[in-house]
């Protein structure tokens, strides 16, 4: 899988370009539906890198951030060899981390898929789910957390 990445300045959004590999497709050369979770993950990791809060940094800050919900709506199929642009955008962060995804044909701009994931903070020490996102997330997002 070939991946290119680009950030959107001053926004919590990021694009990656993925070339759909042969091992992701079925006999009709259509990307198997389960691989879209992987495409979301690639874009999510790239997005988290742009705010300096990747999965290692999350652990170092004392939190796990498991995905607790994922929704995908398939509009048009991704095909073998097709370059797709996966956009990931942070849309919620106060009580959970919601990231919305849009997948487009990289050349035509035609929308192929949309979806979102929801992650919640879990304390690595107590293993308890936090009902509000820890302040480190707001700091990484560059948000003023003073009342």
Annotate the chain with three-state secondary structure: CEEEEEECCCCCEEEEEEECCHHHECCCCEECCCHHHHHHHHHHHHHHHHCCCCHHHHHHCCEECCEEEEEEEECCCCECCCEEEEEEEEEECCCCEEEEEEEEECCCCCEEEEEEEEECCEECCCCCECCCCCHHHHHHCCCCCCC
Instruction: Sort 30 into a burial class: Cβ within 10 Å, 0-12 / 13-18 / 19+.
Output: middle
Domain assignment present for 145:
no
- What average pLDDT score do residues 117-122 get? 98
Per-residue pLDDT at 11: 72
Check if the beta carbon of residue 35 is closer than 8 Å to that of residue 82.
no
pLDDT band at 1 (very low <50, low <70, confident <90, very high): low
Domain assignment present for 116:
yes
Domain assignment present for 51:
yes
Q: What is the CATH number of the domain that holds 19?
A: 3.10.129.10
Domain assignment present for 29:
yes
Per-residue pLDDT at 41: 98
Q: How many CB atoms within 10 Å of residue 65?
A: 20
The mean pLDDT value of the chain amounts to: 93
Per-residue pLDDT at 9: 45
Domain assignment present for 114:
yes
Q: Which domain holds residue 97?
A: 2-140
Check if the beta carbon of residue 78 is closer than 8 Å to that of residue 113.
yes
Number of domains in the chain: 1
Segment 35-83, tens digit of pLDDT: 999 999 999 999 999 999 999 999 999 999 999 999 999 999 999 999 9
pTM: 0.90
- What average pLDDT score do residues 87-95 get? 97
Domain assignment present for 78:
yes
């Amino acid at each position: 899988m070939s991946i290119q990445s680009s950030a959107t300045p001053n926004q919590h959004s990021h694009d990656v370009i993925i070339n759909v590999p042969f091992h992701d497709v079925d006999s009709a050369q259509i990307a198997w539906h389960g691989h879209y979770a992987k495409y979301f993950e690639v874009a999510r990791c790239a997005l988290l890198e742009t705010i300096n809060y990747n999965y290692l940094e999350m652990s170092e800050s004392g939190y796990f951030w498991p995905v607790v919900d994922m929704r995908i709506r398939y509009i048009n199929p991704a095909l073998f060899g097709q370059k797709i642009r996966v956009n990931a955008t942070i849309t919620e962060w106060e009580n959970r981390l919601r990231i919305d995804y849009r997948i487009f044909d990289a050349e035509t701009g035609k929308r192929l898929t949309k979806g979102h994931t929801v992650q919640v903070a879990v304390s690595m020490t107590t293993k308890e789910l936090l009902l509000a996102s820890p302040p480190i997330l707001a700091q990484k997002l560059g948000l003023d957390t003073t009342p």
